[in-house]
Amino acid sequence: MYKAVLFDLFGTLIESPLMTAYREMVAEIADVLDQPAETFQEPWMSINDGRLDGSFGSSEGDILAVAELVVASVSDSQMAQCMELRRSITRKFLTPKAGVIAMLEELNEMGCDIGLVTDCVYDVPAVWLDTEFSPYFAAAHYSCVTHVRKPNAKAYQVVLGELGVSADETLFVGDGGSDELNGAVRVGIISYVVILMHKLRIGFTVFTGNDSIADRKQESAFIEMD
C-alpha cells in the first residue's frame, strides 16, 4: 500500500490561472505604482523566474525588484495596496477543482499522508493556511521558500523527508508542467499525469514515456495497487 501522495498545485488541484486574469492583476499593480500598464507587463514577466525561485526574498521584494526595473519608488501605502492585490488574486486562484476536497478527505480517511510540491511565488504560502486545502496537507514544498524548483530531486525529497516516507511508498500526481513527472520518476516515485479530477476515481495517464491510460475506478486500486 502506498503511504503518501504528493500533488502538484497549478493545473492539478486548481485550474491554471487564465492569462487574462493574471494580466489584469499586473495592470492593477502598474496603476498603483503610477506606471503605464502596456509597458509594465514586460519587466514584470522578465523577473518571473526570480519570483518562482525566491530570489527577491519576499512578496514585497518581488515588487521592489520590478520597481527598480521601471525606475519607480514605492511608498508604504503603495506596497500595502500591491500586497492586497496579489494576496486577493492568489486566494481566488487557489479555488479547488470540483471534487478535489472530497478526494483529499477520502485519502486522509484512508490513512494516506498528502504532500504538496509546487513551483510558486511567495503569495501562495502566505495565504495557504486560509485555503480549503490546508487541513489536508501534512507537508509542502514551495519553490520560492526552498529556492529549488521542479524537476530538481530536492523538491520531492524535502516533502518525502517531512512525511517520513520513502519514494517507493509514494505516488506523485501532476499535470506535467516543469518536467515534474520525469523529476519524480528519477527520484523513484511512480507518477501520474491528471486527465480528469472529478473525484478520487480519477483518470490518469501513467507516465511511462507514452500516452497509456490507467483508469483507477476505486480508491483502493489507486492507493493499494501493486
Mean residue pLDDT across the chain: 87
Asked whether the predicted pLDDT for residue 115 surpasses 70, the reply is: yes
Query: In this structure, are 137 and 212 located in the same domain?
Result: yes
Query: In this structure, are 65 and 85 located in the same domain?
Result: yes
At 130, which CATH number?
3.40.50.1000
Give pLDDT, residue 224: 40
**How do residues 177-214 score in pLDDT, each as one tens digit?**
888 988 999 999 988 887 654 433 333 444 454 332 33
Average pLDDT over residues 164-182: 91
Average pLDDT over residues 104-127: 95
Average pLDDT over residues 166-187: 91
CA-to-CA distance for 10 and 52, rounded, in angstroms? 13
User: With pLDDT > 90 as the criterion, what percentage of the chain qualifies?
Assistant: 70
Query: In this structure, are 130 and 196 located in the same domain?
Result: yes
Give pLDDT, residue 211: 32
Asked whether the predicted pLDDT for residue 148 surpasses 90, the reply is: yes
CA-to-CA distance for 52 and 39, rounded, in angstroms? 22
The answer to whether the beta carbons of residues 181 and 172 sit under 8 Å apart is yes
Query: In this structure, are 55 and 110 located in the same domain?
Result: no
Query: In this structure, are 75 and 141 located in the same domain?
Result: no
> Which of 37-46, 62-71, 209-218 is predicted least confidently?
209-218
DSSP H or E stretch at residue 89? helix 76-93
Give pLDDT, residue 19: 85
- Judging by beta carbons within 10 Å of its beta carbon (0-12, 13-18, 19+), is residue 119 exposed, middle or buried? buried
CA-to-CA distance for 198 and 145, rounded, in angstroms? 30
Unique residue bearing C-alpha cell 501532476: 174
**Which of 40, 72, 93 is the endpoint of a domain?**
93
Query: In this structure, are 135 and 23 located in the same domain?
Result: no
Average pLDDT over residues 81-93: 96
CA-to-CA distance for 52 and 147, rounded, in angstroms? 8
User: With pLDDT > 70 as the criterion, what percentage of the chain qualifies?
Assistant: 85
CA-to-CA distance for 215 and 189, rounded, in angstroms? 19
Give pLDDT, residue 225: 34
Give pLDDT, residue 195: 63
Number of domains present in the structure of the chain? 2
Query: In this structure, are 134 and 99 located in the same domain?
Result: yes
Query: In this structure, are 87 and 135 located in the same domain?
Result: no
Query: In this structure, are 114 and 72 located in the same domain?
Result: no
More confident residue, 84 or 215: 84
**Which of 75, 93, 111 is the endpoint of a domain?**
93
Give pLDDT, residue 221: 37
Query: In this structure, are 150 and 79 located in the same domain?
Result: no
**Which of 52, 67, 93 is the endpoint of a domain?**
93
Query: In this structure, are 46 and 102 located in the same domain?
Result: no
Query: In this structure, are 55 and 116 located in the same domain?
Result: no
Average pLDDT over residues 38-48: 96
Give pLDDT, residue 199: 38
**How do residues 214-226 score in pLDDT, each as one tens digit?**
333 333 334 443 3
* Residue range of the domain that includes 34: 19-93
Find residue 205's DSSP bridge partners: 193, 213
- pLDDT band per the 50, 70, 90 thresholds, residue 119: very high
